[in-house]
Amino acid sequence: MSDRRLLPNILITGTPGCGKTAHARNLVDKIPELKHFQISDIAKSRNAIVGYDEARDTSVVDEDKLLDSIEADLEAGGVVIDWHCCDIFPERLIDLVIVLRCDNGILFDRLKERKYKQSKIDENLDVEIMDVIAQEAKESYVPEIVIELQSEQIENMNENVERIVTWFENWKKDHKDGVSNLLGNNESEIETETESENDESENDEST
């Protein structure tokens, strides 16, 4: 296991049809240091597909096997993860989470173009309406690293990618020695431990 990574890992997530892959490809075109991991393809190439869900018309991924297969890549850093599921990746190895959002009318048209079954379209529209992925991201990662961006027009994508490029450049300036693969950017565990020690000291004094 590598102790530190010198490049950040970026997770681009959102409901199918929100433009995750287009954003990821555009981003790695602008930053050649980054690698695009379209998880659907990675799962196939690393034998992490374990079946097919007929009802949802989608492949079933063995998440444990998938994570085991990409852990070394994430520890090396510089990975742009592109997937609709966001809460399975280790918090310590993720530096930025982009949640793409899309108007339901536009999203419906995009999914229809992909020839999704009506039941699959309805399910994905419900996920977008209920903010399911955004909530999962905020519950799974430090809220400060979770950013929601609109993804409806080509102008949105260009602006979003430029924002991420700027963030990437600033991250490198601020982390010249990289970040720990044990704690990542989140040092709250250390702060929590210190606060607990202070609380114990106060309790000792009061007794």
Annotated binding site for ATP: which residue ranges? Answer: 17, 19-21, 114
Bridge pairing between strands 79-82 and 10-14: parallel
Q: Which residue has the tokens 């929100």?
A: 18
State residue 168 phi and psi, 5-degree precision.
Answer: -60, -45
Q: Using CA atoms, how far apart are residues 200 and 164, in angstroms rounded to an integer?
A: 42
Classified as helix, coil or strand, 92 is helix
- 145: burial class by Cβ within 10 Å (0-12, 13-18, 19+)? buried
Q: Which residue has the tokens 């890549």?
A: 73
Q: Using CA atoms, how far apart are residues 27 and 96, in angstroms rounded to an integer?
A: 13
Cα separation values, 139 from 86, 122, 133, 142, Å: 10, 24, 10, 8
Contact call for residues 115 and 64 (beta carbons, < 8 A): no
**Residues comprising the binding site?**
17, 19-21, 114
Q: Which of 89, 121, 138, 144 is nearest to 15 (CA)?
A: 121
